[in-house]
Amino acid sequence: MIESFANSTLNPALCQAAHGVDVPEDPWPGFARRERRHRRTRLIRAAVAAAVVSAVVGVQANVVPLPGWVPGIAVAAAPAALLDAPPRGALAADQAWLDTLRARISTDSRLSTDNPLGGWNSDGMWKVGDRDRIRLLYGSDQPGQRVALVTVPRRFGLLTKEALVWYVGPAGASAQQMRYAGHSGDTHDPVMTLMQDGPDGRGFAVVVGPAESTVKISGAPRYTPRGTLEYQDLARADGSGVGIAVLPPAPLRSEPLIRVTRGDHVFFQGGLGGGPYAGIGSTGPGMDVLLAAARQGARGTPLDDANLRNLADWALQDSRLLSAGTTVRVRWSGSEHGQTAALLTVQPAGGGVIAYAMHGDDRTGWSIDLRLLLPAEGADRRPIGWRIRADNGTRTPTDQVRVIAPPDAARVTVAVGGAPPATVALDASNAGTTRIPPDQPATLTAYSRDGSVLGTTPLPPVEADMSGLPGDSPATRVAP
């Protein structure tokens, strides 16, 4: 009875309370819907990513063409000083010729793969980029040949490069007659040079520098008897920042030298190798004769044959002199920092005397401690000194100075600033060392046994830039 009462009494109340409770839906259907949507999104993203990777790989492999409006990633920048300059030379106004050359560069593989040394486009990976960006930087018939310097955009997928390329042909040549003659490589110098053999045996050189720069092309140097350096000027200007030169019949006596400046700023200075430059080697009968006489009067520890040949060869290369007609003498040889050291002089026939001090060996290389052009008269009676550099990798000049006295000297003194002269202690080879503060000038004086002056030589400052020839700067000559 009690159970029946409870059922009859509580059931309606419980049912009413149950209806008032908010029971949540089954969560599984909603989860399943969301998961299906996420899967579709992931599949779409994966498909898009795969398509993008496939496209990038195809583009980078030059299989898929890249739209011209897509920017590339520059991996090498050509010198802005050349790219920003206006076109120079008479061909700059010949638009029809330029258009034909531009079309040929972009379609004719011979112009982009004709470099036997490789590096321009011989692997076929880099392609010529936007034809409209091919520009002429210089073009003229001035050296008796048609010469054009062109900037060519190249592309390897997303990577881009600017190449500066030389093309040459006979004077008045059509664009179809032009042939590849060289390119910029990896240099960042804002100067492009070209030297070629001409059809008549005479070579020519073209140098293109930044706008408003001055270009000098010099032939064989001349070391005068009075101890100065003179150049044979070969250059003639062909517009702002351009120099051209017609060279004498090959082989040349020495490589031409170029110097490109704007005011006091030097953009480039160095030799113009290649082409008809014959070079100077350490072999041949002329070199053998030169070395046989080089030991006459030598003092100190004798140089072995290999070191003597290496040092003499380097001195000839540096001074741009040939072995024929040149005299080399070993003034002294010994050691420095445990390595072979030597002072030798080089003299062309009828010219001044160049003193070279070097130390090193074939394993670690040779260091140049002195290059000094002396007047021919009395050169063998002069004391010569140079600062010894620190043996710590930096080659910082120290206060130690090596002094080599002439053979007939009884003593040598050094005068530093206004201080009284001090005697330099000499060994049996007439060599010694003294101390001179690095920032102080000094003068060396050699005396004979009777007390008379044999010769005086200022201690030269340390040469900071060896790109020029001996005698180019006050640090490398005695004459004012």
Tens of pLDDT, residue by residue, the chain (480 residues): 444 544 555 566 655 655 555 555 566 666 667 777 777 777 766 665 555 555 444 444 444 455 544 444 544 556 788 888 899 999 999 999 999 998 888 775 444 444 433 344 544 556 777 778 889 999 999 888 999 999 888 776 666 677 888 999 999 999 999 998 888 765 567 899 998 876 666 789 999 999 999 999 988 889 999 999 998 888 888 888 999 998 877 666 677 888 899 988 888 888 886 666 555 555 567 788 899 899 999 999 999 999 999 999 999 989 988 888 899 999 999 999 889 999 999 999 999 999 999 998 888 788 899 999 999 999 999 999 999 988 776 778 889 999 999 999 999 999 998 889 999 999 999 999 999 998 899 999 999 999 999 999 999 998 877 878 899 899 999 999
Helix axes 285-294, 305-319, angle to 10 degrees: 110
Following CA atoms 164, 197, 170, 81 in sequence, which dihedral angle do they give, to the nearest 10 degrees? 20
Token readout for 357 is 């001090």
Judge whether 246 and 200 are in contact, CB under 8 Å: no
Q: How far apart are CA 256 and CA 273, in angstroms?
A: 7
The per-residue pLDDT for 185 is 65
Q: What is the pLDDT of residue 64?
A: 47
Span 28-43, pLDDT tens digits? 666 667 777 777 777 7
Contact 203, 250 (CB under 8 A): yes
Phi, psi of 154 (to 5 degrees): -125, 150
CA nearest to 457, candidates 398, 372, 349: 372
Determine the residue type at 367. Answer: S
Q: What is the pLDDT of residue 80?
A: 81
pLDDT tens-digit readout, 312-341: 999 998 998 888 889 999 999 999 988 999
| pLDDT of the residue at 257 | 85
Task: Give residue 208's pLDDT.
Answer: 94
- pLDDT score for 114: 45
Q: What is the pLDDT of residue 23?
A: 54
As a whole number of angstroms, the distance between CA 12 and CA 31 comes to 36
Look at residue 118 and give its three-state secondary structure: coil
DSSP bridge partners of 413: 423, 445
How do residues 106-151 score in pLDDT, each as one tens digit?
Answer: 775 444 444 433 344 544 556 777 778 889 999 999 888 999 999 8
CA atoms within 13 A on the CB side of 469: 27
Give the model's pLDDT for residue 333. 96
Task: Supply the pLDDT for residue 276.
Answer: 60
Radius of gyration in angstroms for the set of CA atoms belonging to the chain, rounded to a whole number:
38
User: CA 304, 308, 314 angle in degrees (round to 5)?
Assistant: 150
Question: What is the value of pTM for the model shown?
Answer: 0.67
Q: Which helix (H) or strand (E) holds 206?
A: strand 202-208
Instruction: With beta carbons less than 8 A apart as the criterion, state whether 138 and 166 touch.
Output: no
Q: How many helices (H) and strands (E) does the chain have?
A: 7, 25
From 254, 442, 222, select the one nearest 354 (Cα to Cα): 222
Q: Which DSSP category does 26 fall into?
A: P
Which of 1-21 are b and which e, b meaning 16 or more Cβ less than 10 Å from the residue's Cβ?
Answer: eeeeeeeeeeeeeeeeeeeee
